[in-house]
């Protein structure tokens, strides 16, 4: 297995291991993120000191991050949010997944990491491509053709990418998928659901997934793909309501 690589695009860092997205959003939180939590929740200096102590404990921190005031402050904030992209996506993803009774934090970590990774245009290309395609989105059918002809060692990476890609596209751009299906005869949302579900279930059985925490996450995404997709549709509606474009208006990390 290849060593961990850290990529930084447009000032936002995300971690991958062997080109497979990691369930690691919470490990990427910054000091500014925790300062934001303290500012939102603390009513006094004593509260601030207590919160800093609690945030150093993993279980307490996770419980604090679920507080309604944190979510409301993220979505209601005007101007530029002083938080990292990882924190932003985690808080929003956590809320929409809990609404559909998907409460596992590891699942939130992974789905949020997918959104974080695919928010960079270079991640829309599939593994093995030398340069991004001229189109904004690589067609899933193109990846399926490559999957039939790629060497076995690359098949896992490509199928995992296809699973993540279909989740991102059907979750965050469902209206675009539907519009292309109606106007151009392109595959509809049921196609992306079927490909995403089968891809996640397939990679869950791969020996590489079985050696990591990904197996359980991939299995859950395979069985619950539609529920996760609908949750992300809700998240996308929130983002488009907050911003005129799907760009995430947060302060880049330096």
Tell me which residue of 117, 104, 136 sits closest to 5, measured CA to CA. 117
DSSP state of 81: B
What's residue 78's pLDDT? Answer: 67
Winning range, highest mean pLDDT, from 44-53, 196-205, 233-242: 196-205
Tokens 């297995």 sit at which residue?
1
**Nearest residue to 96 (alpha-carbon basis) of 226, 189, 219, 228:** 228
* 3-state DSSP percent of the chain in helix, strand and coil, to 5: 65, 5, 30
* Confidence at 114, pLDDT banded by 50, 70, 90: very high
8 Å CB contact between 37 and 82: no
Q: Is the dihedral of CA 132, 112, 193, 206 positive or negative?
A: positive
- Looking at the DSSP assignment, which residues form a beta bridge with residue 9? 12
Residues 96-104 have a mean pLDDT of 96
Residue 123 — pLDDT band, cuts 50, 70, 90? very low
Dihedral sign, CA of 136, 21, 241, 35?
negative
**pLDDT tens for each residue of 130-159:** 443 334 355 788 888 888 888 877 888 889
Q: What is the pTM of this model?
A: 0.82
pLDDT at position 127: 52
What's the pLDDT tens digit per position in 216-252? 999 999 999 999 999 999 999 887 765 544 444 333 3
């Amino acid at each position: 297995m290849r060593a961990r690589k850290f990529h930084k695009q447009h000032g936002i860092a995300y971690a991958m291991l062997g080109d497979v997205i990691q369930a690691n959003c919470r490990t990427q939180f910054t000091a500014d993120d925790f300062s934001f939590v303290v500012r939102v929740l603390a009513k006094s200096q004593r509260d601030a000191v207590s919160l800093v102590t609690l945030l150093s404990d993993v279980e307490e921190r996770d419980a604090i991050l679920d507080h309604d005031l944190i979510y409301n402050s993220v979505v209601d904030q005007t101007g530029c949010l002083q938080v990292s992209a990882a924190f932003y996506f985690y808080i929003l993803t956590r809320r929409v997944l809990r609404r559909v009774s998907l409460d596992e934090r590891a699942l939130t970590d992974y789905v949020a990491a997918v959104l974080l990774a695919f928010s960079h245009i270079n991640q829309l290309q599939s593994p093995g491509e030398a340069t991004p395609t001229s189109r904004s989105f690589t067609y899933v059918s193109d990846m399926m053709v490559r999957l039939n002809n790629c060497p076995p060692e690359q098949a896992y990476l490509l199928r995992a990418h296809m699973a993540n890609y279909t989740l991102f596209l059907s979750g965050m751009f469902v209206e675009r998928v539907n519009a292309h299906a109606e106007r151009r005869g392109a595959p509809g949302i049921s196609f992306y659901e079927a490909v995403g579900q089968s891809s996640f279930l397939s990679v869950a059985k791969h020996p590489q997934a079985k050696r990591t925490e990904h197996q359980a996450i991939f299995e859950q995404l395979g069985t619950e793909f539609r529920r996760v997709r609908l949750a992300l549709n809700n998240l996308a509606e929130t983002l488009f309501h907050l911003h005129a474009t799907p760009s995430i208006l947060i302060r880049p990390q330096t």
